[in-house]
Amino acid sequence: MFEDEWTIAAAREWGLWQLEPFIVDDVERQAQVDYVLTGLMEWNYAQLANNVNTVLADDVLTHFKEAIKKIKAGQPVQYALGQAAFFGREFVVDERVLIPRQETEELVAWALDSFSPLAPVQVLDLGTGSGAIAITVANERPHWVVTVSDVSRSALSVAKLNAQRLGAAVEFVESDLFTNIKPEFDLIISNPPYISENEKTAMDQSVLDYEPALALFADHDGLAVYEALAQQLLEHLKVGGQAYFEIGYQQGPAVVKLFKQLPHVSVKLKQDMSGHDRMVQLKREA
């Protein structure tokens, strides 16, 4: 079994067989195998389904087997593959950065739709991680000027790699929130750490084992970073500017209450596609 040349079909069969003791759900197991194959082949799922007899090149087969081995060890499939999809682009990811998620795509889409594409918008992405937010904004809106920041030097290394790979013109700043940020911005956007330590028991073990805690957890029931942002936000957000923050699904009322204490600021709460409170918009009024 599994000798000579390996086709897509043979690789899928082998991958499913290898993962069966580790991933009980058939659909999830198939999804992870196909995620790896589409990533390695640079195909979409339709191309994968229509080319099951294609023979894998030796290097692709080697990478496929290595990825399956990592998934068996408990790694998230995105880390096992070394990349994650976000807004139609593939970003390099590893354990130095958080895996980009669909909810954050919704945050970015909301921000993009709130400004004219041709306006000279000055943008700040706080806590960029892989750079998914900033690079997406820069590539979707080439006329905008985007600054990227993170407190983690290792995370910035990943973001710089992604910016280079994806041809994004952004400026990088190593900064703990606003510490080293000087100018004012029309748009500030962030997916900050917002998970409470009390929520660990409900989290997937692979997230706890592999994703960086610095990018996940915050004190004070997960609100500590929002409290820090609120203290300095108006020093860096222009009059007429807007800020967009991702939040935990149970944090909507608390975050709205916090930011409504700022003068001349309107706050809007929005749900994600699953109907959960997931993001807030702040507008600084004149």
**Secondary structure (H, E, C), 171-209:** EEEECCCCCCCCCCEEEEEECCCCECHHHHHHCCHHHHH
Judge whether 212 and 152 are in contact, CB under 8 Å: yes
- Annotated ligand binding at 129? The verdict is yes
Sign of CA dihedral 247, 136, 140, 186: positive
Enclosing H/E stretch for 240: strand 237-246
- Annotated ligand binding at 191? The verdict is yes
What six digits make up the tokens of 111? 């921000």
Enclosing H/E stretch for 242: strand 237-246
Return phi, psi of residue 214, to 5°: -60, -30
Residue 143 DSSP SS3 = coil
- Annotated ligand binding at 192? The verdict is yes
Distance in angstroms (rounded) separating the CA atoms of residues 249 and 262: 22
- Annotated ligand binding at 88? The verdict is no
- Annotated ligand binding at 74? The verdict is no
Residue 117 DSSP SS3 = coil
Residue-wise burial string across 175-193, b where 16 or more C-beta atoms lie within 10 A, e elsewhere:
bebbeebeebbbbbbbbbb
- Annotated ligand binding at 272? The verdict is no
Judge whether 75 and 206 are in contact, CB under 8 Å: yes
Distance in angstroms (rounded) separating the CA atoms of residues 193 and 176: 12
- Annotated ligand binding at 194? The verdict is yes
Return phi, psi of residue 246, to 5°: -80, 145
Binding site, annotated residues for S-adenosyl-L-methionine: 127-131, 150, 191
Binding residues for substrate: 191-194
